Structures are given as C-alpha cells and as structure tokens.
Amino acid sequence: MKLLVVGASYRTAPVATLEQLAVAPSDLTRTLDRLVAQPYVSEAVLVSTCNRVEVYAAVSGFHGGLGDICAVLAEQAGCQPAALANHLYVHYDSAAVDHVFRVASGLDSMVVGEAQILGQLRDAYHWAAGAELGRGGCCTS
C-alpha cells in the first residue's frame, strides 16, 4: 500500500469550490464508506475544514486510487471530476508524508503556525478510526 493525498485548499480553489467539496460532520462516515468501497482505496482519512478538504488514503495503485478519490470528491461537489482537476493537488508516497507534516505543523495554513489544524487532523484520524471500527475492522494508518 502507498499513501496518496488528494485535496483542495485556499491556495488552489476558490471559496465556492471549497464549499462544494466540504463534508458536513453528519456526512463524514458516509463519505469515508464511499471512499473505502472504491477498488483501489483500502483506508482513508478525510479532513474537511473551512480552508481545505483533503483525503489521505492507503491505495494499491496511484492512478486507480487517484481516479477513485477524485470520483468521490466530484460526487460530493456535485460535478464531474474534470471540473475539479484545476483545483486539486496530489501528493504520493514520501511527498504525501511531507505534506501531512506541513499541514499538521501549520506551515500550510493561511496563518502560518496556527495550531488548530493539528487538532482537526487528530479529530479526522479518530473519526476515520471509529468509522473503521464500526465496520468490524481496525484502522492501522
């Protein structure tokens, strides 16, 4: 399995697009279920804040995983995947790890160094772990 990050943030997408992509807390479990039901995605964490929507996923193949995640994000936004293409960024394997550390440390935030994102990442991980436990499995990322 490899790590893949697909997302949009205030740097890559207008507010209207981020609002379309946003996942309400009441929809998180359903969206996570849709992600891990995809053929190339085995595990997923979804971060949805006012400034970013990102999927961190364990995938069995880059192109297949990218297509699967983009399809779910496009469905969430109510558009075709091609409409999101110019607004999404992709990080794979070690670049994905670098990205998550930049996000967690606040280096990728509007206000550099803000600490709120670390709690949001922690909450997203716990939500995904809880959703996975609810299906009888265990989240191992």
Instruction: Report the percentage of the chain scoring pLDDT > 90.
Output: 68
Tell me which residues are annotated as active site: 50
pLDDT at 31 over 80: yes
How many domains does the chain contain in total?
A: 1
- pTM for the full model? 0.86
Q: What is the CATH number of the domain that holds 109?
A: 3.30.460.30
Give the per-residue pLDDT at 81: 93
Confidence of residue 133 (pLDDT cuts 50, 70, 90): very low
Q: If you count them, how many residues does the chain have?
A: 141
Give the per-residue pLDDT at 131: 62
Contacts of 7 (CB under 8 A, 6+ apart): 47, 52, 53, 54, 55, 88, 89
- Does 139 fall in a domain? no
- Does 6 fall in a domain? yes
pLDDT at 108 over 60: yes
- Do the Cβ atoms of 55 and 73 come closer than 8 Å? yes
